Every structure is written in structure tokens, then in C-alpha cells.
Amino acid sequence: MIAAGLAGYAVLLLTAGVPALARASWTGRAPQLAIFAWLALAGSAVASVVLSGLALTVPTAQVSGGLGALLRACDDALRARYAHPGGAVLAGAGVVLAAVLAGRVVWCATAALAVNARTSRRHRRGLQLTGHADARLGAVVVDHLEPAAYCLPGAGRPVVVTTAALHALDETQLAAVLAHERAHQAGRHHLLVTLGAVPAAAFPWVPAFRTVRDEVARLAELAADDAAATRSPRLAVAEALLTLGAPPAGAAVLGAGGSSAAARVRRLIAAPNPLSRTATAGWALAVTALAASPLVLMLSPAVVLAAGQCPISQLRPPADPVGGRASGYVCSGVPRPPVQAPPYSGVYCWEARNLFTNCCSRGSDGEVTFSWNPQEEMTTGDGRPGYGDRSM
């Protein structure tokens, strides 16, 4: 059953995929790509559960008919591929499950983005009162005893440096800190960190989502460290991290210092080699496949069915058959009401299911048609004479 497979895939991602990605060594060598890997993993887990609920509705006539028309597939076969023993009750429960989960995620994401925007606006207003712009640094300087540097979300937003940081850092270290903060803004790390925290906020009882949140935040700092290290010596970046304190709490900002500084300093000193282009392309492809996998699992039975042959129950006659002899029967995914049996019902595939087992084919133009030879007489299922081709 497709719904059970999607639900099982979500469980597999959260129980095996999260620990495996947390142990992977390549993430520290390509932190920006690893951020997207974590987001793809969390998004795939949530999407799989949502789609499993929607998959329960496919066997209903309304959904299978619409999907069949969209994919040019046959709705009877679609219902068979997605069938489950729960009937309408389980289909209704699937709709509720999908709506509740999707609504919860959207609500938490919207709330988080709104809170960040509101907090950022409030912080910018405070900077206008307490800070002053330094054109040479391209930053806002704030009088404070704690050495700190941080940036507000969004391109063009200010980078903030305290006076204590200016006194504690030399020119090379200060340049590294400013490059670090601007890398956060250029990489949209505030947005990525917020998105990484959404599943944990929506489903706080799932430990794997807390791991996703923490890893995305950690990797955002590593990515900014690497960007700073391309403009300044790695040791200068490491020394600056040890000097700076944490950014202000609850301010929707990202800063160079903080509790993870010690581990980041060790990484900067070790100077891990970045991934090769081949490895990067391979992991990027894997991340793309991970992100697309729920939709592929959901639609693959329908797509495979649409690309193959059509059951004879879905054949419909041409607009005006003459004398019961016609060709060009078209395979339709739209369910149709029963039709009056013509005098020679054997020539109509959908009326003589016991006589034909493979009467649909797809032409080079993609059209699915039924063709038969009207010259050879045969006996219909009800004993009356009809016309057709026994070879089919």
C-alpha cells in the first residue's frame, strides 16, 4: 500500500537517516550543501507523512478520476494500485491527517518568520538610537563592554560591532569578523536557520527534528567561517572567534562568537580539505533525490500506469460508430456511466471483457488507441455474433 510505504519511509528517515547524516564526515567539508541536506531530510519526512494521508484518498472515485484524467491513466487501475482496506473512513482520516500536519507546519513557519521580522525591526530601531554608522567599516558601532559582532537578517541590513570588539581585535581579525557576518547575510543563513527550526517547533516531541535544528544552526556558522577564511588567514579567524562573545539573545541575529566557538576554532586550525567537484556534484544530486523522493513514491505507480497499457474497462467508442464496425477506440481516464449494449456487443472491448485481454496500445504520438479487424466474425460473451480480431 502506497500510504504505508510513505509512512514507513518517513520513519526510516527520522530513525536511521538523521543519525547517519549526523555522523557523516563530508558535512563539515561542505557545510552549505549539508544545510540543504538537513532541510531536505526534514522536509522529506514531513512531506512523506502528509502525502501518505493524501494517498489514502486516491481510491475514491473523485480523486482517481481526476488523477487519471491528468495523467491519461485509467482510474480503475489507479484505484487498484492505491487500494487499502479502510474504505471511505480511512480516506477521510487521511485527509484530516494531511490537513492537520500541513497546517501545523505552515502555521509554525509563518509565526517564526513573523517573529523574526518583528524582532529585527525593533532591533534596528534600537540601533538608530544607540549606535552610529562607521563608513570605513561599513558597520554600525555600539558602545558596549562586551566584545561582540553580529548581523541582522537580510541583504543590506547592518552588521553590528561593539566598541569593545574594536579595541580587542586587530585589523586582520576585524576584517575576518566582518567577512563572517556578511557571509551570513549573503547566504540567507537567517532564513535557513529559521526553516531548520520549524519542524522542531511544529513537532517538539520528535527528537530527530531537534537534531535538524541544531545541525542547521551549527553548519551556518561553519559556512560563514569558511567564507571568512577565504578573505583572511584561518588563524586570524580562529583568534577572532576566541575573542568575541555571544550575540544578544532573542534578537534574531547571527554572530561570530558563541558557545560553539571552541569547536569551530579546532576545525579552522585543522583546515579540512573541501569536497572535490565530483563529490560535491554527487552529494548535490543525492540531496535533490532526497527532496523529491516523497513525491516520486506517491506518484510513481500512477505514472508507470499512465506509461503502460490501459485496462479494457476504460475504452470508449468513437463519436458515431457505423454498423458496429469502427476503429480508433480511445483509452480514457475519465470514468463513464454504463452504455447500452449495441446489437453486436462483441466489437466493443469494454462490453466483452472476457474476449479481449490486451486491446490498448500507445502510438508514436502518445495517443492510446484500440484497433480491431472488422472482417473476422467471432462470438460475443453473450452468444450473439460480433466482429473482432481473435489475435488480440
- Would you state the pLDDT for residue 113? 92
Residue 253 pLDDT class (50, 70, 90 cuts)? low
* Angle at the Cα of 8 from the Cα atoms of 7 and 12, rounded to 5 degrees: 120
Residue 381 lies in a domain: yes
Residue 84 lies in a domain: no
Partners of 140 in the β-ladder? 133, 160
C-alpha 133: how far from chain center: 41
Chain mean pLDDT for the chain: 74
Three-class DSSP category at 30: coil
Residue 63 has which C-alpha cell? 480523486
User: Of 80, 82, 79, 53, which is closest to residue 65 (Cα–Cα)?
Assistant: 79
DSSP 134: E
Structure confidence at residue 210 (pLDDT) = 96
Radius of gyration from C-alpha coordinates of the chain: 31
Residue 377 lies in a domain: yes
368 domain residue, yes or no: yes
Cβ atoms of 325 and 347 closer than 8 Å? yes
Domains in the chain: how many in total? Answer: 1
Helix, strand, coil percentages (3-state) for the chain, rounded to 5, are 60, 10, 30
Q: What angle do CA 146, 149, 155 make, to 5 degrees?
A: 155
Q: What b-and-e string marks burial along 360-376, b requiring 16 or more CB atoms within 10 Å of the CB?
A: bebeeeeebbbebeeee
Q: Is the pLDDT of residue 370 over 60?
A: no
Q: Is 43 helix (H, G, I), strand (E, B) or coil?
A: helix
Lowest mean pLDDT among 111-125, 161-175, 224-238, 316-330: 316-330
Report pLDDT for 315: 41
Within-domain flag for 362: yes
pLDDT attached to residue 306:
53
Three cell numbers, residue 62: 473523485
Residue with cell 511544529: 202
Domain range for 313 is 309-392
How many Cβ atoms from other residues are within 10 Å of residue 22's Cβ?
14
Residue 258 neighbours by CB distance under 10 Å? 18
Angle in degrees, 0-180, between the axes of helices 171-186 and 207-229, rounded to the nearest 10: 130
Instruction: Please list, in sequence order, all residues whose beta carbon lies within 8 angstroms of the beta carbon of residue 322, skipping any fewer than 6 positions away.
Output: none
Asked if residue 209 has pLDDT above 50, the reply is yes
How much is the pLDDT for 102? 93
DSSP 207-265: HHHHHHHHHHHHHHHHHHHHHHHTTS-HHHHHHHHHH--PPPTTSS-EES-STTHHHHH
Find the distance separating the first CA and the last CA of the chain, reported in whole Å: 32
Does some domain include residue 304?
no
What nine digits make up the cell of 333?
481516464
Does residue 318 form part of some domain?
A: yes
* 75-112 residue pLDDT tens: 555 555 666 666 667 777 878 888 999 999 999 999 99
The mean per-residue pLDDT over the stretch 33-54 comes to: 93
Question: With contact defined as beta carbons under 8 Å apart, do 327 and 333 qualify?
Answer: no
Q: For residue 196, tell me if it sits in a domain.
A: no
- The conformation of residue 368, written as its DSSP 8-state character, comes to E
pLDDT tens per residue, range 311-366: 434 444 444 343 333 333 333 333 333 333 333 333 333 333 333 333 444 444 54
Query: Over pLDDT 70: what percentage of the chain?
Result: 65
